Structure 1
Amino acid sequence: MNDDNGGRNRPDGPHGGFHRERSQPVPPDGRRSPRSGRITVPSRTVRRRRSGLILMACLSVLVLLASGTSWAITGWMSGTLNRFDVFGDLADGDRPEETGGLTFLVIGSDSRESITEEDRTALSVGSTPGRRSDTMMLVRVNHERDRVTVVGLPRDLWVEIPGEGDDKINAAYAYGGPQLAVRTVESVTDVRIDHYVEVDFSGFVDVVDALGGIDVCLPEAIRDPKAKLDMAAGTHRVDGAEALAFARTRATPRGDLDRIDRQQQVLSAMLDQALSSETLADPAKLTAFLESALSSVTVDEGLDTATINQLAYQMRDVDLTEVTFTQVPIADMDFWTPRGDVALLWDEPAARELFADINADRPITDPSDTASEEEKEGEPRPEDIRVRVFNGTGTPGLGATLDTALTGSGFRVPDPASDWSSRDVSSTQVRHGADDAAAAGYLAGLIPNSEAVEDTTLDGELQVVIGFDYTTFQAPEVEAPEPEEAPSAGDAPLTTSTARDNICG
């Protein structure tokens, strides 16, 4: 990098192979018109339709690619990125096969070497020497380029690092830089890595600040004196330094796994903020944003201008609901390593199934979502049915008795029973709206001799009108739940969310 980049030059790594060179093209203001010679920027509508380059929204670059909508801008942007020969020394025969999709390894480096002592103190990142991958994510773009899956890899995952033995997965970067990080991830996941993206602490802060801050939300308060983070439960507007502390702290019950959840929330918020703000609509702001945000981003040599533009076009219609976040299922969060420290062990069968789905471009689904769908398609449940009781016979106390029976069986009975408009109703009716026929049929089956009757004035509530043929209410049988095996304290099952789910509010 140039010497005027705020002290962020990257020194050579431990193996002398971390020298990144980049050209310095002049940033354009937009696309040059062939008729007038003026430089313009594509319309806001066109830019937002091309919001699909969520790909590197996984860290700063995905947000940046979302704005790369013209050859002029992406050409300058591509030249601004730092580049490194990540795949040159990898033997193709030893790597996983290509499957048609496109997979990025996105790494957040915890190197402090390019950060001044003043900035280290301000960011509360300490002064630990060396380079490690503070964050690791697999970003998979499917073959059709209409869906993105982001898989978080916990930094303390205990794996075998090729040539180095067993260690935490983030040590691969410290041992051999990007190349060994790629080899390690490929060997343990059997997923081929096509591109590499890296951003360091200062780059992350620059991205968030260039966006004008982001919104994050907390279900519970977090207090981490080491990270200088003290946030109450609720929604907060944070700047780059605060977002970094929020994304890095492990001062919560599930430690590294909670941190991955927060990082996914931050990345979703970054993308949402970039696409909803005025950043992309103002050429000057766009140029300033790209200049500040790209200064600390490193990519592989294959991620060139043509590749960026091709992906931007292919993924122009992808939106936040088609970006799925998950993390590797964990079996043990308190695994004591042979050297005496604590690491994470993943759930081997579940992890293999997850990565097989990634390779096959199958959507990643949360098992609990499947269960919910099965419940929706099955028999109605009392707790989902709202009922009001009317007495059509004049017999005192009959309505109150049925009210009590329904409530005791789990039905929602918000109002006490009352008299019907007449007291000569012969047959008991379960009245319902057009969308509640199944619930009415279920309830009518619990009241002998009753019949379900559609009433178009009703919506979301059933009415039971007691007639002279009413005899009793048969409470539904409640099946005892099958005993479940108690999960261990470290179990972390597969869960998923979309980028839209992760946005506060």
Structure 2
Amino acid sequence: MLLTTAAVMSALVLLASGGAWAFTGWASGRLDRIDPFGALGDRPEDGPRGALTFLLVGADDRSGLTREELDRLNLGRDEGGARTDTMMLVHLNRERDAISVVALPRDSWVTIPGHGPAKINAAYSFGGPQLAVQTVERATGVRIDHYAEVNFLGFLRVVDALGGVRICLPEPISDPRSGLQLPAGTHVVDGAGALAYVRTRSTAGGDLDRIDRQQRFISALLEAATDTRTLSDPARFTAFSETVLQTVTVDDGLTGGALLELGNQLRSVSMDDVTFTTVPAAQTDFTAPTGESAVLWDTEAARELFGRISRDEPLAEPSPPAAAQAGGAAEEPAQAAPELIVPPADITVQVRNGAGIQGLGARADEELRAAGFNVPVPADNWVGGTVEQTVVRHAAHRADSARTVAAALPGSRLERAGELGDGVEVVLGPDYQGVRAVEAAAPDSAGSGGIQAATATDNVCA
């Protein structure tokens, strides 16, 4: 399936790289344009003057691929027509010093105008870009200012034009459906490998883990696209820019002049200024009336998230980096954690026995499950040897989840680990005292609406 990852990357790089190269008449003429707004009525109100929100869509159009290529990429047959996978909102604040990216899970159960309740990715199939825009506006209450779309072949070509992209796997993945077969660690993948990476759902979190990987991949693409080796090599940069321009379809309001203005405004935006999040979910295994498995949004938390976009406010701030520790990890004292906002039922934990005490991992697994945490994989031994203190390791965008886990493990400490994905890792020390029950605050009292955000820098391999 084609994913919005390529669309987001292409549009962000197109805007954020800046420079007149991308917005001359030559470049502007290479962009395909459509009108997705022409007949829309009853739309949300405009946001603050100067702020802009894009709807970015990945179209699952396989029409340009041969039977042999479809087989090689594990894509099945070309059934004709086009669908969407996940969609994303990209918000540029009016000061042009921050970009917020909000993933809309493809299985989100929403109301599609004229068609009734269905998964959000059906909107494009029913009515193309116009109905996709209308559906997202109705579901979010956010007015869409611009539209961008990328096709399947574009994803492969953009990655290959960059000479591959670096990814990190905290655990090995063997997925015959997507074709991804990689051990744990850091890898440089080409377009075909990248497609398998962002398609796989073989990890415990399913589609939500996949969204997390997509966001990480966007960050890696941005890093590669803005690398000095790309920007300073005329041949490489020209190949990349031509690929992006030939890949993206935009609304007809994005004229060459408008793109030039945006590019100049965003030239100072760095990866630290690009923040990612996903619509908070109340239920990820909802059984729809049609029998399909779908995602239900957390109504209050989603309202808070989309309200921030409409008001041109920043997303929930990720936790500030803690002091660097030995080995490059960042550590923060568990006792100083703010109010808990992620409940145990929403957290997946992997236990590693770093105490050298036989049976301690299995005991911790059982006690964490009893406290409501998800522990899908049995504990194993910590490859780093013995540790003196129990450690709760987490990626930057899962700091809120990690705080809940640390609160349940008296005496533990928090440690940020860039290579981890969506779950939280507990490394048991000899000080392990068991698990105590914890509760998360209701979203409205927690103050962040359950929104967990991470910057593009946080999402890149550590």
- Equivalent residue for 1:63? 13
Alignment partner of 1:211 is 2:168: no
Look up the SS of the partner of 2:95 in the other structure: coil
C-alpha displacement of 1:493? 4.9
State the 1:315 CA deviation. Answer: 1.4
Post-superposition shift, 1:73?
A: 5.4
Give RMSD over aligned pairs.
3.0
The aligned residue for residue 347 of structure 2 is: none
Shift of 1:62: 2.0
Paired residue secondary structure (1:58): helix
Deviates more, 1:169-178 or 1:284-293: 284-293
Corresponding residue of 1:97: 46
Q: Name the counterpart of 2:58.
A: 108
Q: Kindly indicate whether the alpha-carbon contact (under 8 Å) linking 1:96 and 1:186 is maintained by their aligned counterparts in 2.
A: no
Q: Report the CA distance shift for 1:125/1:87 in structure 2 as closer, same or farther (over 3 A).
A: same
Separation in 2, partners of 1:319, 1:150: 14
In structure 2, what residue type is equivalent to 1:82?
Answer: D
Partner of 1:195: 146
Aligned residue for 2:35? 85
Q: Deviations over 1:24-82 (max 9, x none)?
A: xxxxxxxxxxxxxxxxxxxxxxxxxxxxxxx9982323223344511675332211011
Where do 5+ consecutive residues of structure 1 fail to align? Answer: 1-54, 379-410, 413-477
Amino acid at match of 1:96: E
Which structure is larger by alpha-carbon Rg, 1 or 2?
1
CA drift at 1:503: 1.0
Alignment correspondent of 1:503:
460
Say whether the 8 Å CA contact 1:151–1:328 is kept in structure 2: yes
In structure 1, distance between residues paired with 2:45 and 2:334: 36
Following the alignment from structure 2 to structure 1, what is the Cα–Cα distance between the partners of residues 221 and 114? 37
Cα distance in 2 for partners of 1:312, 1:192 equals 22
Opposite residue 501 of structure 1, the aligned amino acid is D
1: CA distance between counterparts of 2:155 and 2:248?
Answer: 9
The 1:212/1:343 distance shift into structure 2, 3 A limit, reads: same
In the aligned structure 1, how far is the partner of 2:71 from the partner of 2:146?
Answer: 33
Number of residue-to-residue matches in the alignment: 348
- Distance in 2 (alpha carbons) for counterparts of 1:365 and 1:374: 20
- CA 1:260–1:182: 2 relative to 1, 3 Å: same
In structure 1, the partner of 2:222 is 271
Cα shift at 1:331: 0.9
Name structure 2 gaps, 5 residues minimum.
Answer: 322-331, 339-387, 390-432, 443-448
SS at match of 1:173: helix
Return the TM-score normalized by structure 1: 0.64
User: Does 2:195 align with 1:247?
Assistant: no
- After TM superposition, list the pairs within 5 Å mapping 1:175-186 onto structure 2: 175-186=126-137
In 1, Cα distance between the equivalents of 2:319 and 2:337?
14
Residue 366 of structure 1 and its aligned partner are, at CA, apart by: 5.3
Residue 277 of structure 1, CA deviation? 4.3
CA distance in structure 1 between the partners assigned to 2:123 and 2:455 by the alignment: 29
- 2:55 corresponds to 1:125: no
The aligned amino acid for 2:288 is T
The change in CA–CA distance for 1:56 and 1:192 in structure 2 (over 3 A counts) is farther
Partner amino acid, structure 2, of 1:156? D
Instruction: Find the aligned partners of 2:7 and 2:176 in 1 and give their Cα distance.
Output: 29
Identity, % of aligned positions: 52
Greater RCO, 1 or 2 (C-alpha within 8 Å, sep 6+): 2
From 223, 234, 243, the counterpart of 2:174: 223
Q: Which runs of 4+ in 1 moved over 6 A?
A: 367-370
User: For the Cα contact (< 8 Å) 1:56–1:63, is it kept in 2?
Assistant: no
- Structural mapping, 1:392-411, within 5 Å: none
CA distance in 1, matches of 2:40, 2:146: 13
C-alpha separation in 2, matches of 1:159 and 1:171: 10
- SS of the equivalent of 2:24 reads helix
The C-alpha deviation readout for 1:443-491, integer Å capped at 9, x for no partner, is: xxxxxxxxxxxxxxxxxxxxxxxxxxxxxxxxxxx9x97741699xxxx
Verify the 8 A CA contact 2:15 2:266 in the aligned structure 1. no
Output the TM-score relative to the length of structure 2.
0.70
Q: 1:377 to 1:264 in 2, by over 3 A?
A: closer
Of 142, 145, 152 in structure 1, the residue corresponding to residue 96 of structure 2 is: 145
User: SS of 2:76's equivalent?
Assistant: coil
